[in-house]
Chain A
Amino acid sequence: MAATALTIDGLEVSFGSVKAVNNVTMTIAEGELRVLLGANGAGKTTLMDLISGRTHSTSGHIHLYDTEITNWQEHRIARAGIGRKFQIPSVFRELTVRQNFEVASCRNPSVFANLGFGFSRHALARIEEVLAIVDLRDKADVTAAYLSHGQTQWLELGLLMLQDPKVILLDEPTAGMTAAETKKTANIINSMRGKHTLLVVEHDMAFVREIAERITVLHLGEVLAEGDIASIETNEAVRRAYLGSRSIS
């Protein structure tokens, strides 16, 4: 059996009197692709915020492999091996695509280590590879602000590949995409499978079917169900809570 990449144990956070995430416990195995489903306000993004250090939990623990990373600062969590893609694409808009990738391939976080020029042959080769994977090779010298919405999303996925974290959190990677773009995104994500452990928040069921192995359903901050796509689609509790009485999609 594969090692456990991410362990979430009794995680809770409250904003005022609202418990946004309530006693969530889940484990994700190394190399797994887990999809998080849930209606608006179910706590999916908050859970990602907690894992990546943007929000601090009120109780519970998060382990990355054997390291407890609960409530660390964001850049330390990132360096420990958790990468995150935001719902609204977030890239370095005034830099070119290639420069974006160069920033992401800086391994050493300190200023003084980065006072040199240029990048290693290995890093440059890896940048070319990623440019090919996300299909931005002919846009390499274009300023990121001029990319289309889909291309910006792929650029951000590319940043994550270069950062090369053990666990990657993707928050609605296909939001606002056309069907063709969604298909391409699914291919990119499938190419990341195996190399990284992935946790994906998504609403688009066609896309979920394309990529999902196991699904965790959140409802009002709690884990409602967990299983493969067939068992979730037929789960009575999920139907009632998330989909109303009608069937999925």
Chain B
Amino acid sequence: MASRQRYDFLLYGLFVAAILLAPLMLDEFWLNRIAKYLVFGMLGVAVALSWGYAGILNLGQGLFFGAGAYMLAMSLKLASPTSLQQGSDTPVPDFMLWNAEPGALTQLCCINKGSFIWLPFQSQWFGVAMGIVLPVVIATITGLIVFRNRISGVFVSIITLALVLLVRLLVIDAQPLTNGFNGLTDLAWLTIGAFQSDPYSRATYYLVAIALSLVLVGARLLVSTRAGLILQATRDDETRARYLGLDVPSYQIFFFVVSAAICGFAGMLYVMVSEFASPTFMDLSFSITMVVWAAVGGRSSILGACVGAILINMIEAKVSETKALVEVWKAVVGLIFVLVVLYLPRGLGGFAHDLLDRWRAPATEAASDEGLVAESRDALAERG
């Protein structure tokens, strides 16, 4: 077991080194793309935590991703030049003016009925903090209701799925407040001291790469704590865990919330590298896509799910831009999913573990081979 952990950490080290060294080989255009994929990799980590380790198939991860994204985007929207140049003391987002009723006061406090919600977002750090706080609050409330009432399995998936669609509808419906379908665009860069989150700069790429490395290693350490072990126990047999005296819902809620916080964080990073936030983040298809990434990468492996998300997106980009495949690229990607699910049910991560085991086994296998030979010799002798 111990040596397996050592290999595990070696693989994590290789991955972190690879994403940190990537800028040496790539131009800014590709760096920006890869940065987006790294954010998706972070979503893979979140799915692996809740699906692979807690056994909770959350089909609404997009809700937490979207919440994180919108919170930061609101702050960055207010900081953008167009919002600052509306001729009022407070910045006012352009779309609020387009939607304003005739004669409305051009002030953030009262241009429409709900616009006062935007006031605290004038501070960039409020947006950053809310990007984590809001997903955590939503996840805690949802978790308390769902897990304290012992709802499990497919019902959790249905509830989370309904929730993300509900919030998406609300966001689209609140057009004067959220710019509805169009989402928040024309955002400023996040400024931290001398650093500005220019999405095509190396610095922003490094910010994303380091954030992913920290989340990845943090999640891996978290599942190797005692709490992580107990969580896996509750996944295998909730009743047994309960009769050992463990408060099962508190473990489920805790990891559900951690997973939500990671999604919120990823949402903020995504806003930095793509410069927009949109209700499509809360589309059903996006939440399901995350689950597919994790399934291909291996949901029981945090690194596997992360690599799966990055690889699939790179393959999609490559295939969809290859001339011969422009028409059929979706079929090609679909075929890859089908093949992986059929032949590697535990995903790439599971496959890698099997390979490792086989590679490390020769010593022990040779010993047991000898045993086998001896056994068959005995059998032959008996027969003879």
Contacts and interface: CB of A to CB of B under 8 A. Distances in A.
B349 to A, nearest CB: 15
A83 B243 contact: yes
A117 B241 CA distance: 19
Contact of B225 (A86, A93, A100, A116): A116
B225 A159 contact: no
B246 A84 contact: no
Nearest to A93: B236
Interface in A64-106: 74-75, 78-79, 83-84, 86, 90-96, 98-100, 102-104, 106
B232 interface: yes
B253 to A, nearest CB: 8
B144 to A, nearest CB: 14
A119 B226 contact: yes
B232 A109 contact: no
B224, B225, B229, B240 pick with most chain A CB within 10 angstroms: B240
A52 B239 CA distance: 12
B338 interface: no
A99 B235 CA distance: 14
Contacts of B245: 75, 78-79, 109, 163
A95 B227 contact: no
B236 to A, nearest CB: 4
Contacts of A95: 229, 232-233, 236
B254 A111 contact: yes
Given A110-B247, A110-B250, A116-B226, A92 B232 contact: yes
Nearest to B224: A117
A92 B233 contact: yes
Contact of A106 (B246, B248, B250): B246
B70 to A, nearest CB: 29
Nearest to B300: A94
B243 A52 contact: yes
A167 to B, nearest CB: 13
B244 A159 contact: yes
B236 A75 contact: no
A115 B226 CA distance: 6
A78 B226 contact: no
B236 A94 contact: yes
Contacts of B101: none
A141 B1 contact: yes
Nearest to B236: A92
Contacts of A94: 232, 235-236
A14 interface: no
Contacts of B1: 96, 98, 141
A114 interface: yes
Contact of B237 (A93, A106, A118): A93
Nearest to A107: B245
Contacts of B233: 92, 95, 99-100, 103
Contacts of A112: 227
A114 B244 contact: no
A200 B65 CA distance: 51
A116 B237 CA distance: 22
A156 B233 CA distance: 13
B244 A102 contact: no
Contacts of B230: 103, 106, 114
A94 B230 CA distance: 12
B360 interface: no
A96 B241 CA distance: 15
A95 B223 CA distance: 13
A144 B108 CA distance: 61
Contact of A75 (B229, B246, B254): B246
Contact of A90 (B232, B237, B250): B237
B330 interface: no
A52 to B, nearest CB: 7
B225 A92 contact: no
A99 B229 contact: yes
Contacts of A86: 239-240
Contacts of A75: 242-243, 245-248
Given A111-B250, A111-B251, A117 B225 contact: yes
Interface in B180-226: 222, 224-226
Interface string A108-144: 0111101111110000000000000000000001000
Contacts of B224: 117
Given A75-B242, A78-B245, A109-B245, A115 B227 contact: yes
B237 A91 contact: yes
A211 to B, nearest CB: 22
Interface in B115-144: none
A147 B242 CA distance: 22
Which A-B residue pairs are the 6 nearest by beta carbons? A78-B245, A114-B226, A114-B227, A79-B245, A92-B236, A103-B233
21 contacts: A74-B243, A75-B245, A78-B242, A79-B245, A83-B243, A83-B244, A84-B243, A90-B239, A91-B240, A92-B237, A92-B241, A94-B236, A98-B1, A103-B229, A103-B233, A103-B241, A109-B247, A115-B227, A116-B225, A119-B226, A159-B244
Given A114-B226, A114-B230, A119-B226, 11 more contacts: A78-B243, A86-B239, A90-B237, A92-B237, A94-B232, A94-B235, A94-B236, A99-B232, A103-B244, A111-B250, A115-B226
